[in-house]
């Protein structure tokens, strides 16, 4: 897939993005081994509950909270990592707002779907004050309520003097795994302004030293992840000192977040909840549309359910193109395994683009300079590719 082909799809296809935790680097941590830890822990807790498992559960939740959720608090948002991550998302929105405006097809709506498993607020934060139409699914001003029916709505703008009407670009933000600022109220999802306060208070009551640290710290200061067995052993030691019931209030406060926790039982949880089921349905429907493209950034397809839905859509819809950008060359094989295309895809329409491949596919002088300095296909590098395409599309299409 070279830049010329990418330009064609941008001009002629229904645009979708699947964004994972890798896109929020370097400010927010990726899931790492948390999914595997929680999945195994859930299996053990189901078969035979012991107090040590509750301590381990609380510790894993706290690690996820500290690395992914807590940094979204207003007073935490500072530093170069935050600025870099926010800038990446802003550049993404600015570039695609321009690309949608420049598309010469009057048949295609000026909409872009952002499907994301990220529960953070980086995209909302980046869009704030930019004049970008970001549709997050909420409707209402004082007490907005979430409703999937609010998506896929076009916005028309009429000029003051000549009554000329034109469609303006809209970004539909569909958070498949929920969001840290969602809360349940009277069977509705509403905004929760003080979403972290209750969890913070419970952590303070317990104390950091009563949670298992998921990392070993070497003599050189380097951190290495503990194995599941090591975490359970540490939890057993804490069990001798503290009552497992002391963690109940923290776990209860944490579980008030309207999010799907990173376990392999995601789909079992989502189908029980109407909103998550609807979001998965909207994802599937978007990929089943004729002449659609799905760009994947920062997402490894370790989520089995999304991987299965994506592969099936590619098999059932030969007009769909799935274009996956991997952070490094070494990830290609694991991506193939995760999405289930170890050998080939039925319609040959799932493409995995590595840093080396993007260079090999763009050797012409016209495109070579646009990709020559790419070492990793992170959010910043992918943005630069689309920024180059944006510059090559003539403004007369607007």
* Alpha helices by DSSP H, 179-242: 197-206, 228-239
Q: What is the DSSP letter of 226?
A: P
**CA dihedral sign of residues 96, 114, 124, 326:** negative
Distances (CA, A) of 94 to 78, 87, 112, 139, 291: 22, 10, 13, 24, 24
> What does residue 387 show for φ and ψ, rounded to 5 degrees?
-65, -40
Give tens-digit pLDDT for 225-241: 999 999 999 999 999 99
Mean pLDDT of the chain: 89
Question: Where residue 268 falls among pLDDT bands split at 50, 70, 90?
Answer: very low
Q: How many CB atoms lie within 10 A of CB 316?
A: 13
To the question of pTM greater than 0.85 for the whole model, the response is: yes
Q: Tens digit of pLDDT for each residue in 306-364?
A: 999 999 999 999 999 999 999 999 999 999 999 988 766 788 999 999 999 999 999 88
Give the whole-angstrom CA distance, residue 349 versus residue 221.
Answer: 45
The Cα–Cα gap between 56 and 79 comes to 31
Q: What is the DSSP string of 130-192?
A: TT--EE-SEE-SSS-EE-GGGSS--EEEE-TTT--EEEE-EEEEEETTB-TTEEEETTEEEE-
Using the predicted structure, report yes or no on whether residue 218 has a pLDDT greater than 80.
yes
pLDDT tens, residue by residue, 22-39: 999 999 877 667 878 888
Beta bridge partners, 201, equal none
Per-residue model confidence as pLDDT tens digits over 114-157: 999 999 999 999 999 999 999 999 998 888 999 999 998 887 77
What one-character DSSP code corresponds to residue 68? I
Handedness of CA 83, 89, 91, 94 (dihedral sign): negative
Find all residues with CB under 8 Å of 45, minimum gap 6, and list them.
53, 54, 57
């Amino acid at each position: 897939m070279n830049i010329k082909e990418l330009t064609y799809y941008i001009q002629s296809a229904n645009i979708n993005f699947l964004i994972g935790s890798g896109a929020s680097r370097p400010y927010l941590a990726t899931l790492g081994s948390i999914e595997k830890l929680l999945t195994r822990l859930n299996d053990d807790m189901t078969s035979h509950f012991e107090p040590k498992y509750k301590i381990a559960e609380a510790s894993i939740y706290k690690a996820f909270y500290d690395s992914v959720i807590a940094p979204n608090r207003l007073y935490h948002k500072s530093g170069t990592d935050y600025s870099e991550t926010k800038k990446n998302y802003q550049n993404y929105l600015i570039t695609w707002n321009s690309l949608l405006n420049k598309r010469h097809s009057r048949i295609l709506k000026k909409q872009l779907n952002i499907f994301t498993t990220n529960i953070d607020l980086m995209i909302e934060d980046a869009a704030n004050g930019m004049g970008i139409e970001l549709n997050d699914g909420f409707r209402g001003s004082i007490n907005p309520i979430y409703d999937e029916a609010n998506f896929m709505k076009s916005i028309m703008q009429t000029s003051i003097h000549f009554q000329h009407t034109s469609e303006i670009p809209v970004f539909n933000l569909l958070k498949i795994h929920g969001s840290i600022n969602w809360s349940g109220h009277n069977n509705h999802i509403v905004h929760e302004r003080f979403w972290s306060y209750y969890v913070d208070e419970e952590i303070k009551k317990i104390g950091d030293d009563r949670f298992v640290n998921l990392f070993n710290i070497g003599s050189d200061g380097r951190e290495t992840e503990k194995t599941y067995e090591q975490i359970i052993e540490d939890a057993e030691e804490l069990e001798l000192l503290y009552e497992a019931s002391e963690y109940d209030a923290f776990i209860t406060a944490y579980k008030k977040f309207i999010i799907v926790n990173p376990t392999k039982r995601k789909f079992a949880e989502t189908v029980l909840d109407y909103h998550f089921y609807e979001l998965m349905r909207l994802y599937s429907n978007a990929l089943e549309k004729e002449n659609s493209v799905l760009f994947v950034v920062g997402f490894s397809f370790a989520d089995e359910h999304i991987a299965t839905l994506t592969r099936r859509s590619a098999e059932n819809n030969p007009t769909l193109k799935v274009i996956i950008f991997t952070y490094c060359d070494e990830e290609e094989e694991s991506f193939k395994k995760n999405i289930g295309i170890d050998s080939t895809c039925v319609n040959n329409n799932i493409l995995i683009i590595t840093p080396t491949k993007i260079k090999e596919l763009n050797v012409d002088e016209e495109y070579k300079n646009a990709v020559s300095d790419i070492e990793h296909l992170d959010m910043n590098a992918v943005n630069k590719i689309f920024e180059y395409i944006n510059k090559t599309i003539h403004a007369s299409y607007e």
